[in-house]
Amino acid sequence: MTSMTSPPESKTSPSAPGLREVDATQVKAWLDAGQACVFDVRELDERARESISGTLAAPLSRLDASILPTSGRLVFHCKSGTRSREAAARALAGGRTDVFFLKGGIEGWRDAGLPVSKGIKVPISIMRQVQIVVGSVVLACSVLAFTVSPYFIGGAAFFGAGLIFAGTTGMCGMAAVLGLMPWNKSLRACGDSCSGC
């Protein structure tokens, strides 16, 4: 794939030098012409419900910039644009230059009237599973801190710090671990390899 100059539709993000957003119609044109690798950085349960045809799965929680294609145009998308901006920043930090993120994510894609593929019905999302696990542990540690030993408050603090880390970086270790659990096998099956482009 030959690297091409950025189109007039793309704009440099004010938050970080080199970050460029591109609108859905331009990404669709690139996809149709085979002029870009488009990576979906949402978690696999999100992708299982709804996806953009022709994109590849590369969840941000497990994204390794070193395995991305070394040439050609890269576009990242998520739900609304936050995680894809982070993924694009990682690709830029890894030395890539022809990097974009989809303005508005898959929501912007739908708002532009472009088609999405509907997938399997997933009864409970990975992030809801994370909330259930973390909430249960924090509640248990809090009760044990009051009834058994104050040292149990350390467990609640640990998981609280984990949530802060996940919120600020977009990487959730608990989501990655839960994604490997047997009951989430169907979600793993719908993830395409990063190296497929």
Q: Which of 78, 141, 172, 194 is catalytic?
A: 78
With the C-alpha atoms ordered 170, 163, 43, 59, is the resulting torsion angle positive or negative? positive
User: Per the structure block, which two tokens stand in for 34?
Assistant: 């085979």
Measure the CA angle with vertex 76, ends 70 and 79; round to 5°: 160
- A 10 A CB-CB count for 174 gives 20
Q: What's the half-sphere exposure (Cβ side, CA atoms, 13 Å) at 2?
A: 3
For residues 74 and 98, the answer to whether their CB atoms sit within 8 Å is yes
190 is catalytic: no
Spatial separation of the C-alpha atoms in residues 21 and 89, rounded to whole Å: 11
Catalytic residues: 78
